């Protein structure tokens, strides 16, 4: 009887150890995310520049050279495709910002379109109420009914990575044929991403336009 009990306990221990060895740790998931980002950068032939170079270039990225700046503090990569018309959001100000976007999950592939308010006819702009507090931006989605992000993830929270460009782009409303709204591309790690990316530890690439809402 004691032998059978010992064998049963031994089998349970083996199963438990196998289960632990098969489970993916958070550290493993972060390594997988890092590998996915590096793969995307290599496949897209992205030239990564430092913040020092970015600042020396008057906070611009050369699109012809496919430059993206890496912000070490957040892990976000950004390419400014268009700076935009209008002006930057000043400290202490709150504005409605309208965004159009494509979101790609780049964990397993470079081009898995996961969420968008560009494709399809049911979506409008993501309307985000944004506040600048001494250079720190915060806000939330205010048009839940027509928000692709809200419909997909069930939250009015804005991915933190979306606020990164606001220090460098202008917000305005085109007043002439030559005026263009701001457009950026972002690689956003899970720590700066939407709720599903944060929970499941995967990076997203975004193409986003920003304009002032009235």
List residues bridging with 49 in a β-sheet. Answer: 69
Nearest to 61 by CA among 73, 75, 72, 51: 51
Indicate yes or no: pTM above 0.85.
Answer: yes
Give tens-digit pLDDT for 87-115: 999 999 999 999 999 999 999 998 899 99
Residue entry with tokens 């031994």: 10
According to DSSP H, which parts of the chain are helical? Answer: 2-22, 26-43, 51-56, 148-153, 195-200
157 beta partners: 140
Backbone φ and ψ for 175, nearest 5 degrees, come out as: -110, -5
Model confidence at 21: pLDDT above 60: no
> Between 111 and 156, whose confidence is greater?
156
Res 214: pLDDT: 78
Which residue ranges form the domains of the chain, and what is each CATH number? 26-213 (3.10.50.40)
State mean pLDDT over 162-178.
96
As a whole number of angstroms, the distance between CA 119 and CA 110 comes to 18
């Amino acid at each position: 009887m004691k032998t059978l009990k010992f064998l049963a306990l031994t089998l349970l221990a083996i199963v438990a150890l196998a289960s632990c060895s098969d489970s993916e740790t958070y550290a493993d998931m972060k390594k997988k995310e890092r590998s996915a980002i590096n793969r995307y950068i290599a496949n897209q032939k992205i030239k990564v520049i430092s913040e020092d170079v970015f600042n020396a270039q008057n906070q611009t990225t050369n699109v012809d050279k496919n430059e993206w700046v890496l912000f070490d503090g957040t892990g976000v990569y950004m390419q400014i495709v268009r700076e935009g018309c209008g002006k930057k959001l000043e400290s202490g100000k709150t504005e409605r910002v309208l965004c159009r976007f494509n979101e790609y999950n780049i964990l397993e592939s470079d081009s898995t379109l996961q969420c968008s308010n560009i494709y399809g006819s049911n979506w409008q702009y993501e309307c985000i109420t944004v506040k600048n507090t001494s250079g720190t931006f915060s806000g939330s989605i205010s048009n839940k009914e027509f928000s692709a992000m809200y419909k997909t993830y069930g939250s009015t929270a804005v991915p933190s990575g979306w606020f990164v460009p606001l220090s460098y782009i202008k917000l305005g409303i085109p007043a002439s044929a030559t005026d263009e709204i701001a457009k950026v591309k972002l690689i956003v790690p899970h720590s700066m991403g939407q709720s599903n990316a944060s929970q499941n530890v995967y990076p997203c690439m975004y193409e986003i336009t920003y304009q002032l809402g009235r």
